[in-house]
Chain A
Amino acid sequence: MSLQDRLNELKATVLTQINTTDHLDHLNEIRVNTLGKKGPITEVLRGMKDISAEERPVIGAFANEIRDLLKDALELKKAELENLALNAQLAAEKIDVSLPGTDFEPGHAHVIQQIIEQLENQFLGMGYQIAEGPEVEEDKYNFEMMNLPKDHPARDMQDTFYITPEILMRTQTSPVQARTMEKHDFTQGALKMISPGRVYRRDTDDATHSHQFHQVEGLVIDKHITMADLKGTLLKVAQELFGEKHQIRLRPSYFPFTEPSVEVDVSWNDVDENTKPEDIEWIEVLGAGMVHPNVLKMAGVDPEVYGGFAFGLGPDRFAMLKYGVDDIRNFYLNDVRFLSQFK
């Protein structure tokens, strides 16, 4: 048999072996047996010394060709078998991905806190400061400086927990406004603030009344603040809390600390240019107005030079409206099944 024939035969045999094996180990064996130093190809190449000089390059080239061909076939088969093995491993490793993941249950901010924080962020973005003040207040700041002297009829609207005749649980966060106004240096620019916090009223707790609730009040004082600015600001607040498509309407009202005073309703439904006025359902959400000159005067601010607006809203009421909470007491009893609903 010529060397060529031997090489051709070797090629056929080895290719058959490669094609029929299904084990990586066996394949490796074939590779070592065929291409190794003691393998048949090496042997053929070794036998080249016995052939003529003319034939030598031809046979040599042919042998190399066969070797490369078998090498490629081995590589290909190896990749194929490895792939099969990997697939088999992956199949074996299959798990039920629908099983629950490891339990990491974080706690949640109280829903009222969430609303307050949302408002705080909005007003911070508009350049407001967040002011705080005592919950146990002086009558002076809570009422008198808010233009509510001792025998003012509007004090009926706010039944108060007194500690002494002059000290009380604040009924609103407006005293913070009085305190901040008193301290503010208007030569340094405008006062823009909100005062979120807890307030108290002498009320019997039931589904719609709570002796404790929250308020976020706002105040802007400068030389050129208008009622249109108030309306624009309140529209932003309403749209922040209820959505961009909601509108507001202002109705006359009365608060001793503002004049003019308005009650502000927000549309419960979305409003666009095609909405008919009679189809809008209005809900009362906050009170506002232009700061009463007496309030400015009492805080040492000249009402001839400065003016501005104030507004107040109740996060408790917002939360009740927005989420359909039907009992205000839910906010203060802290049932974990209630708290954890507000992610």
Chain B
Amino acid sequence: MKLSLNWLKEYLEITGDPNVLAERIARTSVEVEDVTQPGAGMSGVVVAKVLSVVPHPDSDHMVITQVDAGEDEPIQIVTGAPNVAEGQLVILAKHNSRIANGQKIKKGKLRGVASNGMLCALQELGFDEKVSPKDFEDGIWVFNENDDVKPGDDALVALGMDDFIFEMGITPNRADMLSMNGTAWEVGAMLDQNPTLPTVQLVENGSKATSELISATADKQLAPKYKVRMIENVTVQDSPLWLQRKLWNVGMRPINNIVDVTNYALMTFGQPMHAFDYDKLTTKQLGVRLATAGETLVTLDGEKRDLRADQDIVITDGATPIMLAGVMGGQSTEIDATSTTIVLEAANFNPRNIRSSARRHDLHSEASQRFERGIDWNATEEALDFAAQLIAELGNGQVQPGVVVATDTAKANVEVAVTLSRINHVLGLNLNVADITAIFAKLQFPAQVTDETFTVTIPSRRWDISIPADLIEEVARMYGYDNIPATLPVTTATVGKLTYKQQVIRKSRHFLESLGLNQAISYGLTTDEKAQMFTLDAMANITKLDYPMTQERTATRMSLVTGLLDDVAYNVARKQQDVALYEQGRVFYRFGDAVRPTEVEHIAGAITGKFGRDTWQGKAKEVDFYTAKGLVAAYLNQFDFVASISYQASTDFKEMHPGRTAAVLVGEQVVGFVGQVHPAVAKAFKIKATYVFELDLQLLLDLAKNDRGYQPISKFPGMSRDIAILVDENTAYAQIATVIRENGGQHLVDIDLFDVYQGDNVPTGKKSLAFTLTYQDVNKTLVEEEINAAFTNVVTALKEQLTAEIR
């Protein structure tokens, strides 16, 4: 909301730098996002009277005018303004003046005729299109003769552009500050002043009692207050400058004297108001009810709206809805230039209904905003009287005697009690009774003090205060947060430590980083299709958003790899061919009919291109299956599981290369997979050969680990034997290693594969593998004979079990 400082000055004595006041407001009540002066940087702009208008000899759209700017001689101005006419009071930007955006006006010649300045439209002075009055949209601004301006006056002042406008970020609790009156109370409390608020001297000199002209009925639940006044013999015309100025300075477009007054009352009291054209009402019976099925309404903005049965509150004239209550008026009863009899409505509508109507119809109006948050319960009738009287004055009409009241629900004053000790306890202060009493007095909250207990009567404008904590906040902000000391909590001792799971997750992250993988954080929401790719749990179902924002984010992810592939694709598209990423995060598995998914911690990686960089020492290696597997193996070894880790060729993962993917097992438990992304999938992601792994971190946490213990280091030297064998090319390394281990004897401590070869000198269909077997004993030096015997066992077993040929 915009706050006009000039307007506020009508209620309070305010001097000094507006920025200082703004800072004070920000520290005491609500955020002030910006302070601006509309006319800042402009100068030499005055009111001028058009003395004559003659056609331009060489132009069919320009005219030559002589204007009186309060100087000795008239000034000649050439203008293209279509609406310029003799006798008008207009805005003149003189020679050497500055208008909006720092633009300088200089005298010059237009088609050969001297022009000593420029006649201005409001937009040329920086007015927003949205607040400039419509009548002058295509031409220069013309003052009204009654506007109390004369040639030579500073036009910037006349237009209110010397005002300071505070852009206020009003929090939902401070509905009171959505009005000038409420703001005056608040700033008054800050400045320790009692605001002088507007008063009404109502003259009811109309010809007929309101109740003879119109009736109104309302449901108390929908409209706890519903009141109507009428004004007759009104002339609809432009509002006087003082009113237009106030409205545009708070961001509202002046329309006509009737609508402007309703807006003015809204801004003053925070009480939304609506004016109907009496003659356009088909019956003279206003009603307030919920919309019924199939009803529609054309609102003031020209939109035809389907009303929501039993949800939208409508105002009816007899049977037909004529307004979406509290949100926007209807076109059929709109005030226009010919209106003479005005029905003025002031009401209080149920905030819940208004909120849902505004949301569902996407119509967040000044009115709905206030009803939603709560208006001053006791201001309705005063605002109604104020507006009726002003409409009568500005429209030369008469207020009809009496108010038609459909509902007028009374509400008891809210009283809240809080103790001095409670206030000090919560704020960490040592205030005394007098300090607190002074604060409530500044806020103009009536308060009784008994035994250090304050019983405070909450003014009806302050909907937000209902419990002691609310009063404590009032004390805190008025006392000043700057004055509260900074201490640290003193509690019983608490232990701050990471849980086992948190420790493992941290260690996992650091470990993978040290291996050269960058941590990625990808999106948790993805497309339905991607959400279901690479999932480790075939039984899990997808979890979809009810009302997604975009096609790209419709469901929660069921694997991390998919997001990583998006990341790889993003990098590859930007010529970053070498990518090594890991991610730790949750996947969402929904089982059976459950609505909520189970969230499982996973850890995954994706590598493509080269691992490391080419350097002067040599070329970096292109990543392959074994790079990925090596990462997984190094990572899993850290856990020291009781059960052994194994990798089994798998075709279970349909997005993975069927010949280059292994399920990762700890004991019998599948904990994840590692392998190459299926080339078809890679193509769909627009990426090259990419190797990935994904592991269920929760399983890794849960699986049994070895107890840590010390193994004595042998003092006796080990001995080794090399063996090279030829086997069928389909024999897996794992099978060979198993045969060696099982037949190696008790002293075999290491099996190292140091060569795998196929090609020249190896028969087709065969492959050659070479191993070093290391033997050692903790208690003694092994003798040659023992090792020879053990080694012979291995050789025999390899020959017999794998038909290996020893080379």
Contacts and interface: CB of A to CB of B under 8 A. Distances in A.
B428 A336 contact: no
Contacts of B411: none
B355 interface: yes
B473 interface: yes
Contact of B513 (A107, A232, A253, A307): A107
A203 B550 CA distance: 10
Residue with the greatest number of chain A CB neighbours at <10 A, chosen from B476, B522, B582, B597: B476
B488 interface: yes
B519 A252 contact: no
Given A109-B519, A339-B519, A231 B485 contact: yes
Given A109-B509, A222-B489, 12 more contacts: A103-B613, A129-B494, A161-B546, A163-B545, A163-B595, A189-B491, A204-B550, A228-B485, A228-B486, A232-B486, A293-B467, A339-B520
B544 interface: yes
B490 A162 contact: no
B685 to A, nearest CB: 14
Given A163-B595, A224-B490, A228-B427, A151 B516 contact: no
Contacts of B520: 110, 334, 339
Interface of B: 26-31, 171-174, 351-352, 355-356, 359, 372-373, 425-429, 467-470, 472-473, 476-477, 481-482, 484-499, 502, 506, 509-510, 512-525, 543-550, 553, 556, 567, 570-571, 574, 576, 578-582, 585-586, 588, 595-597, 599, 612-613, 615-617, 620
18 contacts: A109-B519, A117-B506, A126-B496, A134-B599, A135-B588, A136-B599, A138-B596, A156-B359, A163-B546, A169-B556, A211-B525, A220-B491, A228-B429, A228-B484, A229-B487, A259-B470, A260-B476, A336-B579
Contacts of A204: 549-550
A226 B425 contact: yes
Task: Name the 4 nearest CB pairs between A and B, nearest first.
Answer: A228-B428, A226-B428, A260-B473, A254-B171
Contacts of B549: 161, 202-204, 211
A151 B355 contact: yes
Interface string A99-142: 11011011111101100010010011111111000111010000
A190 interface: yes
Contacts of B597: 136
A260 B518 CA distance: 42
A334 B522 contact: yes
Interface residues of A, number: 85
Task: Provide the main secondary structure of the chain A interface.
Answer: mixed
Contacts of B497: 124, 129
A262 interface: yes
Contacts of B516: 105-107
A110 B521 contact: yes
A332 to B, nearest CB: 6
A254 B172 contact: yes
A106 B596 contact: no
Contacts of A127: 491, 493-496
Nearest to B617: A102
A200 B525 contact: yes
B546 A225 contact: no
A340 B576 CA distance: 13
B488 A334 contact: no
B496 A222 contact: no
Contacts of B494: 127-129, 189-190, 192
A235 interface: yes
A52 B687 CA distance: 104
B266 to A, nearest CB: 18
A229 B576 contact: no
Contacts of B174: 254
A261 interface: yes
A269 interface: no
Interface string A231-245: 111011000000000
A247 B372 CA distance: 37
Nearest to A255: B171
Given A167-B596, A189-B492, A259 B473 contact: yes
Contact of B544 (A108, A163, A212): A163
A47 interface: no
A304 to B, nearest CB: 10
Contacts of A138: 596
A97 to B, nearest CB: 14
A67 interface: no
A332 B582 contact: no
A107 B518 contact: yes
B513 A108 contact: yes
